[in-house]
A and B are shown apart, each in its own frame.
Chain A
């Protein structure tokens, strides 16, 4: 369904999620007919169409920035900047990719830059060396899908309470649907390090939810 939906707009970006097990569909891409028309018009220079796009995608962009930054003021700045950068970079947009993901990647860049500024450190993620690899022990079993409302709330709170180091990859991966390469580029770390961070972040979440239960 995921691929079918995307193919209406463009070919699937990468042949991902292949294997014997059917992939989970991920809701979120809103490639309805209208945004596609606006996008086409915006790419040919229609400012008003870009405005429509901005209105359409603003909630998604804002939520991403909010998840990454926490504060309302910084979120608004970052969202504003995201649309400005996206508008400037529209010529370089590859129509073969999902526009939402492309836009969210830009927003992620903006938000991570804001995080770096907040830390007053150019290299947010290089400060602590991230050891690649993980223990052979699989640890606690993954969180089940049918969590109660209370546990979902606790999970969200736990994500929000994670240090930037773990929160950023989680949000970029599971909210913005970026792949490991894109995340690595935004965070300026290696792809293997992204894998390690996500692995550890998920292990931490399981552990923290386990102790809270």
Chain B
């Protein structure tokens, strides 16, 4: 005789069968071990349901989904605002009390990720230029469609939200045309007599030449960028060669192979460059902060000069101090004039080459640059490292408690199997990469700017809480919370964070483990976010 249907089995297990059906099923059960096991399991499940239903109701019982939604709706903006305020306050305080300490506050992981991204971009540009274009295109398409489908799916259920956004879009639609000129292909040239009255964004051009004036910023990616005229805003460039003989009203941000400045920059210069040259006619009215293989300064820098790299050759004037953490050669030639101090680290056995005509008004301090290996191990020897780790994880713990109160569902992410682990890692990687691309893509339109800013906050929050998600998961494995109380969650979270902190402190293993934890955490959070939205 074949096995009874699942529903008959349920009816039997619940004592709801009668007559011939009951007799048949009983007869079958005598011979079928599998069905007997299932009946027992069904009865156990029934008893479990009874027990669970008899437990004390929650303080507020309505469906868990509602609780989650409210938690996220209220908690996320609150958490974002709180983090923003806390960061702003901490920054202001630190800057005032301990100038320079701000470096330490930078989330280490973000710094690492940015450096990794730069390395990757440079490596790709050298070896496979087509791939960068392709990745960029795929990234833009993927992120725009992801952003679009996310918006559509969220707003479709709330028509008024969609209507408001549409109204905003309609109101702001003519704005991009007026505010940002997007130039796509072919060379871009502003003639000497020409005046562009908006910011310019150009991409894919071979050459960008500004002989006339741009009233706004210039954001450019090109082989060669030359500014002979005037730009009233700032300059953001990614190119092979940058030459400025005219005037830039704002700051210069350059990632380039060679940058040559002959004209005037009214604000700071930030550079990641191979060869950075300020000729004798160059005037920088702010700071210069650069990582460059070779830097030559013949003109004047009104404020501080921070340069890391192989060689720095100074013949011009610096209004304040010269700092460097990492320099192989420093030459102060005749005519060099430093109003403030010189504070540099040079490799062992090297000294500052200083000509008789070079003038330094302040102190000159030279320290020995530790070898990379020493430098790496150095921070394990200083108490700062442990203090910051302690502070970092304590802050995470406190933030975790607050977040758990606001949105407990965020921490319910679990990884049970190896394939889930891989999937979570992959999700984490995709989210880590796609979100910034999506933000950049969104920020290219005026309508998208608030979205991009909101996304940036969310992104920072996710990066910050990634460790928390992992810690909550680890804590759940090591010390599962006995109930839903804050105390129990705190115990479990503390256990998870302790493991993470211990791993982070191991030399050589700590940093890669940190990256894995970051990816896992972002993956866990993304999947929770998706589950909550669903």
B492–chain A nearest beta-carbon distance, Å: 10
Pick from B15, B54, B416: contact of A175, CB below 8 A.
B54
Do residues A138 and B48 form an inter-chain contact, with CB atoms below 8 A?
A: no
Given contacts A63-B54, A179-B16, contact A24 B44 (CB under 8 A): yes
Please tell me which stretch of B32-40, B94-102, B445-453 contacts chain A, meaning at least 4 of its Cβ atoms lie within 8 angstroms of it.
B32-40
Map CB proximity to A onto B462-498 as digits: 1 under 8 Å, 0 otherwise: 0000000000000010001111100000000000000
CB of B43, distance to nearest CB on chain A (Å): 5
Q: Do A149 and B48 form a contact, CB below 8 Å, given A67-B57, A156-B55? A: no
Give which listed residue, B5, B14, B39, contacts A21 with CB less than 8 A: B39
Residues of A within 8 A of B443 (CB): none
- Find out whether the CB atom of A135 lies under 8 angstroms from the CB atom of B6: yes
Q: Which residue of A is nearest B416, CB measured?
A: A213
- A142 and B10 CA atoms in complex are apart in Å by 11
Asked if A133 and B480 make an inter-chain contact with CB atoms under 8 angstroms apart, the answer reads no
Asked whether, in the complex, the Cβ of B42 is within 8 Å of the Cβ of A142, the reply is yes
Give the docked Cα–Cα distance between A141 and B177 (Å): 61
Residue B53 lies at the interface, judged by CB distance under 8 Å to chain A:
yes
Answer whether residue B47 sits at the interface, using C-beta atoms and an 8 A cutoff.
yes
Question: Hey, what's the 0/1 contact readout for A119-140 against B, CB within 8 Å counting as 1?
Answer: 0000000000000011111110
For residue A147, CB closer than 8 A to chain B, the reply is yes
Q: For the complex, give the distance between the alpha carbons of A212 and B481 in Å.
A: 16
| Cα distance A73–B5 in the bound complex, in angstroms | 42
Evaluate whether A70 and B7 lie within 8 angstroms (CB atoms) in the complex, with A24-B46, A138-B38 already known.
no
Residues of chain B with a CB closer than 8 A to A70's CB: 61-63
B7 touches A67 (CB 8 A): no
User: Is A133 a contact partner of B50 (Cβ separation < 8 A)?
Assistant: no
Whether the Cβ atoms of B7 and A199 lie closer than 8 Å is: yes
Q: Are A143 and B16 in contact (CB under 8 A)?
A: no
Would you call B481 and A20 a contact (CB within 8 A)?
no
Tell me, yes or no, whether B119 is within 8 Å of chain A by CB.
no
Kindly provide the distance from the CB of A58 to the nearest chain B CB, expressed in whole angstroms.
14
Is B53 a contact of A19 with CB atoms below 8 Å?
A: no
Those of B50-87 within 8 Å (CB) of chain A? 50-55, 57, 61-65
Q: At the interface, yes or no: A7 with Cβ under 8 Å from chain B?
A: no
Question: Would A159 and B48 be within 8 Å (CB), given that A21-B36, A134-B5 are in contact?
Answer: no
Total number of residue pairs linking A and B with CB closer than 8 Å: 145
Total contacting residues, chain B, CB less than 8 A: 48
| Residue A198 is within 8 A (CB to CB) of chain B in the complex | yes
Q: Which residue of A lies closest to B412 (CB)?
A: A212
Given A161-B65, A175-B50, check contact A180 B14 (CB 8 Å): yes
Q: Does A51 contact B (CB under 8 A)?
A: no
The interface bits of chain A over 154-172 (1 if a CB of B lies within 8 angstroms of the residue's CB, else 0) are 0111111100000000110
CB proximity of B8 to chain A, nearest CB, Å: 9
B45 in the interface (beta carbon within 8 A): yes
CB proximity to B under 8 Å, residues A160-198: 160-161, 170-171, 173-175, 177, 179-180, 191, 195-196, 198
**How many residues of chain A get a CB closer than 8 Å to chain B's CBs?**
58
- Dominant secondary structure at the B interface: helix
When A159-B53, A213-B414 are in contact, do A66 and B47 touch as well, CB less than 8 Å?
no
Bound-complex Cα distance A24 to B40 (A): 9
Q: Which of A18, A28, A153 contacts B54 (CB 8 A)?
A: A28
Contact with A along B1-28 (1 / 0, CB 8 A): 0000111011110111000001000100
B29 touches A19 (CB 8 A): yes
Please tell me if the beta carbons of B16 and A199 are within 8 angstroms of each other in the complex.
no
The answer to whether A23 touches B43, judged by C-beta atoms less than 8 angstroms apart, is yes
**Quick check: B39 and A156 within 8 Å, CB to CB?**
no
The residue that B64 contacts in the complex, of A157, A175, A195, with Cβ under 8 A, is: A157
Tell yes or no: A152 within 8 A of B by CB: yes
Q: How far is the CA of A169 from the CA of B231 in the complex (A)?
A: 73
Contacting pair A26 B47 (CB below 8 A): yes
- Give Cα A128–Cα B41 distance, bound, in whole angstroms: 30
Partner of A161, one of B38, B45, B64, B412: B64
Residues of B within 8 A of A26 (CB): 47, 50
Residues of B within 8 A of A (CB): 5-7, 9-12, 14-16, 22, 26, 29-30, 36, 38-55, 57, 61-65, 412, 414, 416, 476, 480-484
Contacts A149-B483, A152-B52, A156-B53 aside, 19 further interface pairs with beta carbons under 8 A come to A16-B16, A24-B43, A24-B46, A66-B61, A71-B62, A133-B7, A141-B38, A143-B45, A147-B48, A150-B480, A153-B483, A156-B52, A170-B53, A173-B46, A174-B53, A179-B15, A196-B7, A205-B49, A212-B412
Q: Identify the 8 closest CB pairs spanning chains A and B, nearest first.
A: A16-B15, A157-B64, A142-B45, A17-B15, A174-B49, A142-B41, A175-B53, A161-B63
